[in-house]
Every structure is written in structure tokens, then in C-alpha cells.
Amino acid sequence: MKANRMWMCFVVSLGLLAPATWGLSLCSYQSPETLLMDARTSFSYQYYDDANTPAIDVSTGRVDFSFSRLRDTAIYGSVVRLNGNVGLTNFLPSRWMGEGEASFRYYVSKELPLFGFGGIHGITTTGQTQLGLDIQSGFGFGRFKDVTPLAKAMVIHQNLRASNAISKPLSDDVVMKIGQTIGSLSVVNPVENIVVMIESLVETVIDGQLDARSLLMIEDVVMGSDPQRFCGFSAQAGLGYELLDPFGGPQGFLVALSADAAYAPDQNGQMQGHLGFSGPFDIANENTLTGTFSYEILITKSSSLDAGYTFQRVQTVNLAPTTSHGISCNVVFKVASIDVLVGLSYTRSTGDPGWSVGCSISASMDLL
């Protein structure tokens, strides 16, 4: 039963992807520069003290955190990433796993997404004698792009239809042109010019005029920070050299593999994922595997879902591997004038008797 509940939020969120398989694809938009940032944290704790037993029966918990920043242009890009978790026993840290990296990439051409990269990588776990630190370099393939302008164009189209400002849907070509117009927003091309250009594009198609309310809505969407949407992938492979061996051993060379992906099914949803694998040349007996996945979707104007999964597996020489998993699912919705948040979290690490389950419900409302 617990396993069924654990995966329920993922089944629901993936099912919401179905409507996005039709129509204009967000990932068809081309952007000159992309900046992707994401930060997450979650907390769960289990406490039980039976009066019939001499000591506290259960007192364990976990804190998960992650941060990522990815920038891509036609010529260069950069990645900063931090993932980790801290296990708690009797409200004190008892075990931990963490990994961080920063790298710079240079593309060989604007047309071909082939790049060389170099950077630094660090890892720490409970069983290590010290921080593991290494430098890496190699080659990769892939590129990310910011498709937020087209997502905003889709929101504008959706709002115009909902308010009956236009009697029929705009063609995909017109929506794409609106997105390209929003993408040209700059200091020399301010929002006032963008609104006028979008107004002209729409009015030419509908053979009519947009009212003042529609124009204000267009301006608000163009200037707003949401939705932010990204598409793309990258896969890279390289060699590294240890600056600090995590177990105090001799320094040596490393093999490093990683892959990243981002996909926006429509203007309301965003998926992101990362997978990393590294270790010395004897990689079968000593390695680290990490992964993260997140999915967020705006279900309606007043409700949203945010789900995520993280894991880390560390294999050391002559020792059993240690693993750590974290799953979170948060739903925000509005009931009348009340904002409600329901959150579920599941965590498990090597040595735990089972999954730790966390559930939170909160509500807020404006009285005046």
C-alpha cells in the first residue's frame, strides 16, 4: 500500500502530459541564450515514543536540498550544480551525502552542438575520511534553449480565447511569430513596442481590434517572470584527476560521465533531469551514481503540482554500496478564498528499516 501511495503523484503528473502531445511544440522555438536556475529543499521526520518501552522507539528524519544553474549561448555555456541530503537521528545529523560541480563549456560552432568542457567536482559522504575533490575535462554534445517567449505567446493566445477577445484560434505560425516578437524584448525594443507588434499580428488575423483589457493582459504576460520554460539535452564524457582522494588514498585519474535534459510539454509544465556517473579506472569497484528528476505543472489558474525524485549511490572498495532516495510531491490549490498546500515526501537510505513518510497540510486566507 505504501509503495502504491509513493508512486501515485508520479502517475498523476505523467498522466497530465497527454494533452501536451498535440499542437505547436514549445521545443521548436529557437533562442540565442538560455539561463536555467532551480533550487529545492524538503524535510521529513518520524518520531514515536511508546510509553511501554524504555526508550524512544523511532526518531529519524532527513533533509534534502538541490541547486542548479545552467547557462547556454551560441559560443559558450556554464553549469553549477549542488545536490545532497542529511540524515537525522534524535534530531542530530547522523549521515550525509553531497555532490557539487562547476564547469565551463565552449562550442566548436554555432550550428553544431559539440563542445569541450572543463571544471571542478566535489563529493562527500558519511564513510569518507575527507572531501573528495577533482578537476575534469572532456567533450560533450547537446545544447539547451530558453523557450519562455513561446510559452508566453501560448498564454496570451489562451487568455484571448478565454476572454472571447478572438472568435477563433490563431494559427501556429501566428503564435510562433508572437513568441519571436516577445523574444526580441530588449532595452532598445521596450515592452511598449512589443505590445504594439503583437496587437498588429493578432488584429491582422482577426480583422478587428483588441480592447484595452486585452492589451493590458498582453503587457502583463510579456513583463511577467512566469512561465519560465526550457528544452534541450547534453551528454558529456571526460577524464579527471583527484586533488583530494575521498578515502585518503593516493591521487589518480578518474572517468566522468553525465547527462542532462529539460523538456516543456506545454506552457503549463516543465520537466528536468540529471544523471552522473564517475569513478577511477577501476570503476566497477569504486564509483558514484547520482540522479535528479523534477516535474512541475500548472493544472489550473489556481492549482499546481510539483514532484521530484533524487538518488545517490556510492560504491567503495571492499564495502557494500550505500544508497539514498528521496521523493516529494506537493499540490497547491484554492478552495473559495483559501489557499491550501498538501505535501507528501518519501525518503530511504541504506540501513533504514523502510521508507520514511512525511505529510503536511497547510492553509491560508486573506480576511480583509
What digits encode the pLDDT tens for the residues 61-93? 888 888 989 898 889 999 998 988 888 888 899
The verdict on residue 175 lying in a domain is: yes
Grid cell of 148 as nine digits: 519562455
The verdict on residue 206 lying in a domain is: yes
Q: At 329, which amino acid appears?
A: C
The verdict on residue 101 lying in a domain is: no
The verdict on residue 213 lying in a domain is: yes
Q: Which residues of the chain have pLDDT under 50?
A: 1-3, 6-21
The verdict on residue 212 lying in a domain is: yes
pLDDT at 13: 45
Asked whether 104 and 118 are in contact (CB, 8 A), the reply is: yes
In the beta sheet, which residues pair with residue 261? 233, 273
pLDDT at 367: 60
Cα distances (angstroms) measured from residue 86 to each of 58, 124, 252, 320, 345? 17, 11, 28, 20, 15
pLDDT at 138: 96
pLDDT at 348: 87
Q: In the chain, pLDDT over 70 holds for what percent of residues? A: 93
The verdict on residue 14 lying in a domain is: no
Q: State which residues form the domain around 182.
A: 148-223
pLDDT at 312: 86
Grid cell of 111 as nine digits: 550550428
Its pTM stands at 0.77
Domain count, the chain: 1
The verdict on residue 156 lying in a domain is: yes
